[in-house]
Amino acid sequence: PNLGGAATTTGTIPSKTLKETALYFSGKNEKGLYGVEKKLEEKKTDAEMFLHRQRKVTSSENEAMMNNIIRHKVDLYNGLGSFEDAHTIQVTKEDGSCEQIRGENIMIATGSYPFHPPNIPFDKKRVHDSETILQIETFPTSICVVGAGVIGSEYTTIFATMGSKVYLINNSDAILGFLDREMTQCLVTEMETEGVEICFNTAVKNMDVPDDPSKPIHIELQCGKEFDVEMFLFAAGRSGNTSKLNCEAAGVEVGRRELITVDDKYRTNVPHIWAVGDAIGFPALASTSMDQGRVAISHMFDIGDLEGIPEVFPYGIYTVPEVSMVGITEEEAKKKNLNYCTGRANYKDTARGKIIGAQSGMMKIIFDRETLVILGVHVIGHFASEVIHYGLSLVDNKKTVKQVVSTVFNYPTLHALYKHACYDGLGNLAGYKVKRLTCDYVRLDTADIPDYDE
């Protein structure tokens, strides 16, 4: 079996690689540079071509992890592990033989698996979850995606970028509900521009999957809408991969969706058993899971390496375009009755944005009106998951908008967005308008920024 779990084999690395593949084959990012749209039909992109790079990157990451295991002289046991008692793990190998391992301390890092509701006839051919979608043999001209969380939204934009007709089904009134609502509105606009039909506040009522693969899958929604597609992807939730661990033999408590309950040190209710990563649920990020392991090991052996996970960390959504955030959303600021102000900046108004041909994209900052301390940063556009890291430093270190405008950046870079957004915020605060700022996505209050770099 491959090492790395969902992060390298079926989730994080694969989907992010496929996003870059879609951008390459579609030429989407080149349209702003030369105004030329590539014809996907001319490139004759098939499933094998589409998945080639993803499989190569995944294989490379798997190999790197195996080399790391070998270099650190870690004993590796291949098989299905389950508790015999609170200190003993039984490993059942592929040939049916068993071996027992005993440990003074035990860490559970078994990850998660896609949730399968009983009304969805998964067949790994045309009806997929987020793991089997990586095994497609034909590229769909149309697909229905259920679930507008991270995975569903990423695959929606990937397939739409590749030219597929996409229907996105969501059982609430917004996608990616943890993001700032203005950012999700921007992403919805981007999706709709690519021809995605989003059906809010509904779910699949019935679906007919003919045995003949040449016949379309018929979807009927609870709202009454009906349509036909070639392929179906269910991406609404994951469950902890703990059902075969026999946790009851060790006395480990397992909660809803098979997730293990832990404290802030990642210790379960059994003092010498720890759990990290997707197996414990939120935030279930590749970026935090490894550090959760470090925290657990630090407390397990009392080595003082890492006491806990930082309270402030970024979220990166690898849709097309990328969305990333750190700190509070505007909705949270309102709910907490904070005296806040906002500032915005468009990619296309920066020199670097013009150079790379950015036709859309924006940054939004949220800051305290009195102290000017930056409370949240939100980005949608090219390299948002990279650009956000300076915002992480600002929020974590309680920097102010005036400190940002007095900071010198390389020029031209996308970090100019921070200065533009901060100048805009100061203008909003003072009611002083110098340059009209137009938003690419939604109608906002008019704001201005100075021509400090033009």
Tens of pLDDT, residues 222-272? 999 999 999 999 999 899 999 999 999 999 999 989 999 999 999 999 999
Tens of pLDDT, residues 10-19: 888 888 999 9
Give the type of residue at 93.
Answer: K
Q: Give me the sign of the Cα torsion angle 149, 150, 155, 156.
A: positive
Distance, in Å, from the CA atom of 385 to the CA atom of 351, rounded to the nearest integer, reads 20
Cβ–Cβ contacts within 10 Å for residue 189, how many?
15
User: 450-454 — which CB contacts under 8 Å span 24+ positions?
Assistant: 450/423, 452/419, 452/423, 453/350, 453/351, 453/411, 453/412, 453/416, 453/419, 454/351
For residues 112 and 240, the answer to whether their CB atoms sit within 8 Å is yes
Tens of pLDDT, residues 129-160: 999 999 898 889 999 999 999 999 999 999 99
Residue 392: what pLDDT?
98
Q: At 447, is the pLDDT very low, low, confident or very high (cuts 50, 70, 90)?
A: very low
Q: Is residue 41 classed as helix, strand or coil in its secondary structure?
A: helix
Residue 450: what pLDDT?
39
Tens of pLDDT, residues 299-321: 999 998 888 888 999 999 999 99
| Region 325-352 average pLDDT | 97
Residue 254: what pLDDT?
96
Q: At 444, is the pLDDT very low, low, confident or very high (cuts 50, 70, 90)?
A: very low
Q: At 454, is the pLDDT very low, low, confident or very high (cuts 50, 70, 90)?
A: very low
Identify the residue whose tokens are 């970090």. 415
Has residue 25 got a pLDDT over 90?
no
| Region 101-115 average pLDDT | 95
Give the type of residue at 283.
Answer: P
Residue 195: what pLDDT?
96
Q: Which of 19-33, 91-105, 410-424 has the lowest mean pLDDT?
A: 19-33
| Region 417-439 average pLDDT | 82
Name the strand (E) or helix (H) holding 345.
Answer: strand 340-346
Percentage, residues of the chain above pLDDT 90: 78
| Region 351-371 average pLDDT | 95
Whole-number Cα distances in Å, 288 to 128, 297, 340: 27, 14, 29
Distance, in Å, from the CA atom of 250 to the CA atom of 85, rounded to the nearest integer, reads 5
Percentage, residues of the chain above pLDDT 70: 92
| Region 200-221 average pLDDT | 96
| Region 40-58 average pLDDT | 75
Cβ–Cβ contacts within 10 Å for residue 373, how many?
16
Burial class (CB in 10 A: 0-12, 13-18, 19+), 184: buried
Q: Which of 21-25, 108-112, 292-296 has the lowest mean pLDDT?
A: 21-25
Cβ–Cβ contacts within 10 Å for residue 443, how many?
7
CA 247 from chain center: how many Å?
Answer: 29
Which residue(s) pair with 100 in the sheet? 90
Residue 451: what pLDDT?
38
Residue 181: what pLDDT?
96
Whole-number Cα distances in Å, 411 to 41, 384, 415, 433: 39, 18, 9, 25
Residue 285: what pLDDT?
87
For residues 384 and 316, the answer to whether their CB atoms sit within 8 Å is yes
Name the strand (E) or helix (H) holding 98.
Answer: strand 98-102
pTM: 0.89
Has residue 437 got a pLDDT over 60?
no
Residue 354: what pLDDT?
93
Average pLDDT of the chain? 91
Distance, in Å, from the CA atom of 200 to the CA atom of 223, rounded to the nearest integer, reads 9
Provide the b/e sequence for 116-148 (b: ≥16 CB within 10 Å).
eeeebebeeebbbbbbbbbebeebbebbbbbbb
| Region 350-376 average pLDDT | 96
Distance, in Å, from the CA atom of 411 to the CA atom of 420, rounded to the nearest integer, reads 13
Q: At 409, is the pLDDT very low, low, confident or very high (cuts 50, 70, 90)?
A: very high
